[in-house]
Amino acid sequence: DAGVIQSPRHEVTEMGQEVTLRCKPISGHNSLFWYRQTMMRGLELLIYFNNNVPIDDSGMPEDRFSAKMPNASFSTLKIQPSEPRDSAVYFCASSFTGNTIYFGEGSWLTVV
């Protein structure tokens, strides 16, 4: 079975550019999470969707970050404009009601 699929795996971009990270959750899962991992702050939840609806976006750092889930099989996390402090690993994860949360392999973002 396919796991959570994220793209791109690695991205290097210049400050000020728009970055779009993509995620395909595991088929049948109804919850989707975006996490960010940095050395300083560890793993932090950015936003959580349940049945394609954003439930908690309190972790989104600022207006430069936005996330969408137009259907059950696709989500995007967009950063516009990007800044060097956004450099991190961004994980997408999914689960089915109350069950284990499975992570994708992460998108490694470097903003120079």
Partner 1 sequence: AQKITQTQPGMFVQEKEAVTLDCTYDTSDPSYGLFWYKQPSSGEMIFLIYQGSYDQQNATEGRYSLNFQKARKSANLVISASQLGDSAMYFCAMRVPFLDGGSQGNLIFGKGTKLSVKP
- Which of 74/102 has CB closer to partner 1? 102
| Residue window 51-90: x/- pattern of binding to partner 1, with contact defined by CB under 8 A | ----xx--------------------------------x-
**Two tokens at 72?**
């059950």
Alpha-carbon distance 25 to 68, whole Å?
A: 13
Tell me if 34 contacts partner 1 by CB under 8 A.
no
* Overall size of the chain counted in residues: 112
Instruction: Select from 18-26, 38-46, 64-72, 77-85 the region that touches partner 1 (CB under 8 A).
Output: 38-46
Q: List the one residue out of 36, 22, 24, 27 whose CA is nearest residue 91.
A: 36
